[in-house]
Amino acid sequence: MKIHKEGRRILFFTLLALLAINLLLFQFNADAVTFNRIFVGASVIAFLLLLQFFRSPFRNLLTHEDLLIAPADGKVVVIEDVHEPEYFDDMRKQISIFMSPINVHITRNPISGIVRYFKYHPGNYLVAWHPKSSTKNERTTVVVQSEAGPMVLFRQIAGAMARRIVWYVNEGDEVSQGEEFGFIKFGSRVDLFVPIDTEVKVQIGEKVKGGQTVIAQLKSTQPSLFGN
């Protein structure tokens, strides 16, 4: 287990602030022993909670060119056919993964290929399960031309707690399945949009792990681990 680079600065300054406050309390509020001890305990708990937000566990990544791998840890909350207006402007199958505050917040490339489109959208911070969060909230949209052929769109979406999305890809980049493409600070949601004929391998309510769980199988002429 290691700490993700996006959290190191936050954790360092939070630790300094908590240490300073506790030292000041023991210096200038020495008589309130019980209160000071409670505050120390609360500081430790708060720091540990923040620490787990930025954990980066080791993963044995699953890779295959026509398999769509989970881009994030979380729970599958949407599987439906919808109209995708930003890039495809046609019907696509949407698969959404909700990331709670206790999930790992790293987002990974669900497929290998070339980034054909990227856009960052500033926006609101509605709760992640709100129907309009995917079009109103702060978000990024990435479209990858997969090695299997089909285009895959995936979107980082900020939620009520998340206040910053980080990304590491740009148009024209070649990306590898399972590698990090970004980070959503304090969780939220990732949406995927794939061709209608894509075979979904998960169900609503199922918990998935980024880089490991097979989400779907794209239609391809290449042989798959799951067969055709």
pLDDT in tens, 108-124: 999 999 999 999 988 76
H/E stretch holding 78 reads strand 74-84
Q: What is the pLDDT of residue 110?
A: 94
Q: Which residues of 176-210 are buried (b: 16+ CB within 10 A; e: fewer)?
A: ebbebbbbbbbbbbbbbbbbeebeebbeeebebbb
Does the model's pTM come out above 0.75?
A: yes
Angle, vertex CA 144, rays to CA 139 and CA 145, nearest 5: 160
At 41, is the secondary structure helix, strand, or coil? helix
Supply the DSSP symbol for 199.
E
Segment among 3-7, 14-18, 62-66, 76-80 with least mean pLDDT:
3-7
pLDDT value at 133 more than 80: no
pLDDT for 170-203, tens place per residue? 999 999 999 999 988 776 889 999 999 999 999 9
Helices (H), the chain: 5-28, 33-53, 133-136
Q: What is the pLDDT of residue 223?
A: 52
Tell me what the pLDDT averaged over the chain comes to.
86
Q: Which residues of 76-99 are buried (b: 16+ CB within 10 A; e: fewer)?
A: bbbbeeeebebbeeeebbbbbbbb
Active site residues: 188
At 174, is the secondary structure helix, strand, or coil? strand
